[in-house]
Structure 1
Amino acid sequence: MTPQSASAAPRADESCRPSPAREDRLADVGTRGELILASGRRAVLSGLRWPDEPALDANARAWLVAFRGAPLILTERGPEDRWGRRRADGIAGEAEPVDLAGGLVAAGLAYADAGEAEALCRPALRALEEAPRSAGLGLWAGGPLAATDGAALTARAGRFAVVEGRVLHVGERSARTYLDFARRGEQGLTETVQKRTWRTLSEHGLSAATLKGRLVRIRGMVEIGRGPLIDLAGVEGIEVVEGERALRR
């Protein structure tokens, strides 16, 4: 079960609305996968979370550099970011076209994630994570972090992580809801969900009743409070993954 996009301001459908496709060429690859185009424009691939680890960063960049000089079909989405770049879907090559975002995700060199966008405009990218996750490739070499591994989560403080665990307790409060993955007195992940996001989750069938006891996959920035925590940025940051082959223990 993969949740749908949450509504936000600007509305998710507006941030994902594609512009007419246009042709360009890849001149170079900049920091964190920035596409430097022959036209002088710059873009970033839509729906990707670039890896933090230096070795994987280098591998992902090398994968893209292989398409330098290749013709690109770009479909831009949403407004420019603070650096004057547009999010875009990129198809490289002519004889055998390659979806750049899909190729990076399938190789385990990037996560499918909305990032700073309002929604994951290409939710199908999530399905491409299955093969590298099952094979332990790239970003998935150690598997998703366990929600009960307090030490590993603490080591990820300030960085993006994908975490898996079973929801043991759901605490609904007036301002936010807490999803606890560790027993009282043990170190483990707590996910905080702001009131507005919790309402959106309920609209997608995710509630205290449907989440408690379920195995889920969380993605977001790890922070440290009394213990490691992730504040759920939107409905796409949580997936119920009960029954996936890769998670059968």
Structure 2
Amino acid sequence: MRGLGLVIAGVVIGLCAIAQAETPQSGLVMQKLDGDRIVTIKDSRIALHGVRLVDEHADPSLYKDARQFILKSLNGLPFVLKAEEFRKSGSLDNRYGDLQGRIITSDGVWLEEALIAEGYGWWSGAPGYPLASRQRLIKAEKKAAERKVGLWRQFAVLDANHPPKQYWNGQFIIAKGVVLDVYKGGSTTYLNFGEDWRTDFTAAISSSAWKKIERGDWKLADLKSKSITVRGLVRFYNGPYMELEFPEQLEIEEAAGEG
């Protein structure tokens, strides 16, 4: 009977955990800000999900302002983590065990959206991010760019068809341009934005990633002559080179950001 009791206890605990995941977590209070995560007084770790904050080394002053914005927004007051849509998309937590969702402050502001709207960060292109929420973050980013606030006073979307001649080493960028050619070589598909693949901007999709990126109504080959926006880390490999791993990193202009 002891074994049966342990099994029942395990089931009850599991059901409680599921119920907790399905219900927005309210009454959370920040204990400290640890990089891009919030640690609550009950030691829950919550990621600032969907926003990539400006890099501290690139702009120390703006990074400091971003942290102050977060601290002021939460300010010891209870906040809510809305996570149901993230549970449904399978992105309730990250590989570090941090919870992911939409952080709603005590005055009803979506924190991640506000950070992007004020130019403290970009839409990150996070995998599994629910479409409706993703579109809101992209819209906030575009408005921040138009207003030239925060990082947008210096940062600019790269012209993928005419990239600057410089050495790239892991910077986060957003690039927009018309795909001139789609080439499949071995296990990788390349989106080329120039006439010479040895020097042009290239976005690469591995065989393991293309199954996630292609939707049911289009194929990668269909991107030829399309205007797209891609975001992610760029390195130098026969010109600026970005590896796309998730559909959220790619926005097709005709698809209104459905990526």
Residue 112 of structure 2 corresponds to residue 101 of structure 1: yes
Structure 2 distance, partners of 1:166, 1:69, is 47
Equivalent position of 1:8 in the other structure: none
Distance 1:242 1:75, change over 3 A: closer
Partner of residue 205 from structure 1, selected from 202, 214, 218? 218
Cα displacement (A) at 1:71: 1.4
Structure 2 distance, partners of 1:201, 1:83, is 27
What do residues 142-188 of structure 1 show as CA deviations (whole Å, max 9, x unaligned)? 32122222435x34x21221111221111123411111112227733
What is the CA RMSD across the aligned residues, in angstroms?
2.7
Distance 1:27 1:204, change over 3 A: farther
Distance 1:51 1:38, change over 3 A: same
Residue 30 of structure 2 corresponds to residue 30 of structure 1: no
Structure 2 distance, partners of 1:89, 1:160, is 23
Residue 133 of structure 2 corresponds to residue 119 of structure 1: no
Q: Which structure 1 residue ranges, 5 or more long, are not aligned?
A: 1-17, 245-249
Find the residue that maps to 2:194 and give its secondary structure.
coil
Max Rg structure? 2
Distance 1:82 1:234, change over 3 A: closer
Structure 2 distance, partners of 1:188, 1:37, is 46
Structure 2 distance, partners of 1:243, 1:86, is 30
Equivalent position of 1:44 in the other structure: 47
Equivalent position of 2:81 in the other structure: 74
Matching of residues 163-182 of structure 1 within 5 Å: 163-182=175-194
Q: Which amino acid aligns with 1:143?
A: A
Number of residue pairs aligned between Structure 1 and Structure 2: 220
Equivalent position of 1:221 in the other structure: 233
Identity %, equivalent residues: 23
Contact 2:202 2:241 in 1 (8 A): yes
The more displaced of 178-187 and 228-237 is 178-187
Distance 1:85 1:218, change over 3 A: same
Cα displacement (A) at 1:41: 2.0
Distance 1:185 1:224, change over 3 A: closer
Equivalent position of 1:54 in the other structure: 59
Structure 1 distance, partners of 2:236, 2:66, is 29
Q: Which structure 2 residue ranges, 5 or more long, are not aligned?
A: 1-20
Equivalent position of 2:99 in the other structure: 86
Give the TM-score normalised by structure 1: 0.77
Cα displacement (A) at 1:108: 1.9
Equivalent position of 2:151 in the other structure: 139
Contact 1:150 1:188 in 2 (8 A): no
Equivalent position of 1:161 in the other structure: 173
Equivalent position of 1:64 in the other structure: 70
Structure 2 distance, partners of 1:20, 1:150, is 48
Contact 2:234 2:241 in 1 (8 A): yes
Q: Which amino acid aligns with 2:200?
A: G
Distance 1:196 1:186, change over 3 A: closer
Cα displacement (A) at 1:97: 1.4
Partner of residue 204 from structure 2, selected from 189, 192, 201? 192
